[in-house]
Amino acid sequence: MTPAGLARALQEHVAGSLAESVGRLGRLAALDAPTGDVDALRETEALLTGMLDELRADVRAHPTPAGTHLEARLGPASGEPILVVAHYDTVWPRGTALARPFQVEDGVARGPGVHDMRAGLVAALAAAEALGELDALGRPLTLLLNADEEAGSTTSAELIVSLGRQSAAALVPEACLGGGALKTSRRGIATYRFEIEGREAHAGHGSERGVSAVHELVALLGSLQALARPRAGTTINIGLVGGGTRPNVVAGSAFAEVDVRVATAAEDERIHRALGDLAVGEGATLGVRRLHERPPMERTPAIAAGAERAREIGALIGLELTEGAAGGASDANLLARLGIPVLDGLGPDGGGAHAVDEHVLVDSLAERIVLLALLIALL
């Protein structure tokens, strides 16, 4: 089958099975899957395992303390696979699915997690199904559905990188940029915790014997803010602070948790070195821990070449794919340094990620199923 013929066949197939894909999306949105809640995640894991079984995939479960990651293999056994990475955890707590049930109205699907990233996950499953039914899956395909992306993929990162090293290219169906653009670069993110130990004393008499951890923290936070370079894409957000016990006690301890975002590996290294050089005053001690991190996704030559090929493939279905940068991180950040094409933002258009107005466009879901299938077959 020619590429143009495959594109037409996929469009016809996806149009005829779109209601089924929307139904899959609804079944997923009806289940709460908050990151870190292993008991809640288990229901979505079971639903996805059933969907993968329907595709006759060879499924391997990777249990972890954060949840179970599902690795599914389809297509022929030999050759370099295409890797598709999607996450099934969401930011929404238990009870959200009941309070804000899935609904479709005027071509818009709404519900918790539909935009980030259940619609992209459904698009990946539907793309694999379409290729299988058209007997067009001529290369190995690996689907990795992980359970901890919203918490930094701390337990799945090693698996993601390992599978990426075995693959010819990686596709991440996170939501596209507004209007359908690919995400070919992303800022890296790291969360740090700073802990200062001082010495308690009475605030009214004998305060000179104390060392205020809170005072030291305030001074430290000023130094942290000075490291930001917004024009270079480096931002620092002091998101959580605390310390002390009572107003009349010199604070013996204090802490802060800080979000650092960078656009390049060079800036990541600069910040990491600078944090190692921070110090506090005499009598106080400072501890710095990196809680989790994702490196920046820079637009490498391999990623640029992949984006150009995606534009050519998108043209088969009338898409004019553009590209852009995203401020947040995804699992694509973990794959970008491997020297393979990594395409992110392949999921459906919509909006409201992490917000109560979260939604996706049903027509865009159909379009992205076809695009993903073509990329898997032709990239």
Segment 190-204 mean pLDDT: 95
Q: Residue 205: what residue type?
A: H
Three-state DSSP state, 213: helix
Three-state DSSP state, 129: helix
Alpha-carbon distance of 147 to 70, in angstroms, equals 8
Segment 362-373 mean pLDDT: 98
Assign 193 a pLDDT band (cuts: 50, 70, 90). very high
Question: What pLDDT is recorded for position 111?
Answer: 97
Segment 106-127 mean pLDDT: 98
Q: What percent of the chain has pLDDT over 70?
A: 100
Segment 343-364 mean pLDDT: 96
Question: What pLDDT is recorded for position 99?
Answer: 97
Question: What pLDDT is recorded for position 375?
Answer: 98
Alpha-carbon distance of 183 to 174, in angstroms, equals 9
Segment 315-333 mean pLDDT: 95
Average pLDDT, the chain: 96
Residues 220-276 have pLDDT tens digits of: 999 999 999 999 999 999 999 999 999 999 999 999 999 999 999 999 999 999 998
The alpha carbon dihedral of 287, 268, 302, 124 has a sign of: positive
pLDDT for residue 22 is more than 90:
yes
pLDDT for residue 183 is more than 80:
yes
Residues 32-47 have pLDDT tens digits of: 999 999 999 999 999 9
The CATH number corresponding to 3-186+297-378 among 3.30.70.380, 3.40.50.300, 3.40.630.10, 3.10.20.30 equals: 3.40.630.10
Alpha-carbon distance of 309 to 111, in angstroms, equals 33
Give the architecture (CATH level 2) of 193-294: 2-Layer Sandwich (3.30)
Segment 5-23 mean pLDDT: 98
Question: What pLDDT is recorded for position 261?
Answer: 95
Where exactly are the structural domains of the chain?
3-186+297-378, 193-294
Q: At CB < 8 A and 24+ separation, what contacts does 268-271 make?
A: 268/188, 268/190, 268/295, 268/296, 271/190, 271/227, 271/234
Can 3-186+297-378 and 193-294 be said to share one CATH topology? no
pLDDT for residue 206 is more than 80:
no
Question: What pLDDT is recorded for position 207?
Answer: 81
Assessment of whether the complete model's pTM goes beyond 0.85: yes
Question: What pLDDT is recorded for position 208?
Answer: 86
Which residues, 6 or more positions from 173, have their beta carbon under 8 angstroms from its beta carbon?
Answer: 84, 86, 117, 120, 121, 123, 124, 346, 347, 368, 372
CB-neighbour burial class of residue 216 (10 A; exposed 0-12, middle 13-18, buried 19+): buried
pLDDT for residue 292 is more than 90:
no
Higher pLDDT, 304 or 291: 304
